[in-house]
Structure 1
Amino acid sequence: MNAPIDDIDRLMAVMAEAFDPAYGEAWTRRQVEDALVIGNCHYELIAGDGGAPQDGAPVAGFFLSRYGFEEEELLLFAIAPTWRRRGLGLALLDRFARSARARGADRLLLEMRRGNPAEFLYRRFGFLPIGERPNYYRGPDGQALDAITFAYSI
């Protein structure tokens, strides 16, 4: 899926606001562009009113995912801090689930570091933990943090 340059600009702007640089979880522009060229990666932007953003307008959030046989993995998900706690995260997760289902996915997956505040949102949507990777991430002070894998059946 090739994305218009302004969509990537807007996606990168949200990521810069939403991801704490201390954890190094944000992707580079090149990583995002390369993922979208592969063809099995998909993204969607959301405006502050919950709809699709107008051309060139700022966005409140986005997801980037990768489809594989009957599963779709959420690679990146972000709502800009100024737009949080307005229901946009749940709305965007719902769009993610519907679009993945339309591509043939029966299950959604995601992985996050233990202690990520987004865990509440994912659990509220219905994601359940299915596994862990001990010491997978590093915290700002170098401490080892586990990764938690979550799944959601569509």
Structure 2
Amino acid sequence: MMDDLDRIMAVMESAFDPQWGEAWTRRQVETSLVLPTTHYRLIAADGKAPAEGQNAAGFAMTRAAPGEEELLLIAVLPSQRGKGLGGKLLDILSQDARSRGASKIFLEMRENNPAQSLYHKYEFNQIGRRKDYYTTSDGSRMDALTFVKTL
């Protein structure tokens, strides 16, 4: 039977382009998930939580700190993009964060990430830039953009 870590990794391996080096290893995800401040959600293709044994169409993982959360990872299978699942995950994460006492959600991403339009649509605003933060697979450097959403 597929457990949640398997479902997260199946989405991650399909959704993240190796060119950008953004995918986490199974060990990194596993290590994060054992921490009490790390939270995750899975979503099925129908927009609900996947049933036991059902594959996930997407996932999101956050880390909580007093009064805030950080979106660590969010991904939707390429075959399921454009169906509103990423937005649904962001809505669920916002509700979850609020229920844990957060008033803000932060995220950081590479400057050319196409998800930027999704984040703007869901009221994330850019508040910072880290020059040359990411190194791509060809060795070039790329800025990181920091966003925040007030809950």
Q: TM-score range with shorter-chain normalisation?
A: over 0.9
Q: Give, in angstroms, the shift of residue 74 of structure 1.
A: 0.2
Counterparts of 1:67 and 1:75 in 2: how far apart (Å)?
10
- The two structures have a TM-score, normalised by structure 2, of 0.97
Counterparts of 1:96 and 1:77 in 2: how far apart (Å)?
10
**Paired amino acid for 2:5:** I
Alignment of 1:1-154 (within 5 A): 6-154=3-151
Q: Which runs of 4+ in 1 moved over 3 A?
A: none
The RMSD of aligned alpha carbons is: 1.2
Counterparts of 2:123 and 2:29 in 1: how far apart (Å)?
27
Counterparts of 2:16 and 2:94 in 1: how far apart (Å)?
22
1:109 to 1:16, Cα distance in 2 relative to 1, 3 A: same
1:5 to 1:49, Cα distance in 2 relative to 1, 3 A: closer
Counterparts of 1:9 and 1:84 in 2: how far apart (Å)?
20
Unmatched 5+ residue regions in structure 2? none
Preserved CA contact (<8 Å) 2:111 2:142: yes
Q: Give, in angstroms, the shift of residue 141 of structure 1.
A: 2.4
Counterparts of 1:5 and 1:43 in 2: how far apart (Å)?
16
Unmatched 5+ residue regions in structure 1? none
Q: Give, in angstroms, the shift of residue 124 of structure 1.
A: 0.9
Counterparts of 2:137 and 2:112 in 1: how far apart (Å)?
12
**Paired amino acid for 1:32:** V
Q: Give, in angstroms, the shift of residue 36 of structure 1.
A: 1.2
**Paired amino acid for 1:12:** M
Counterparts of 1:148 and 1:74 in 2: how far apart (Å)?
13
- The two structures have a TM-score, normalised by structure 1, of 0.95
Give the fraction of aligned pairs with identical amino acids, expressed as a percent: 52
**Paired amino acid for 1:20:** D
Figure out how many residues of one structure are paired with residues of the other and give that number: 151
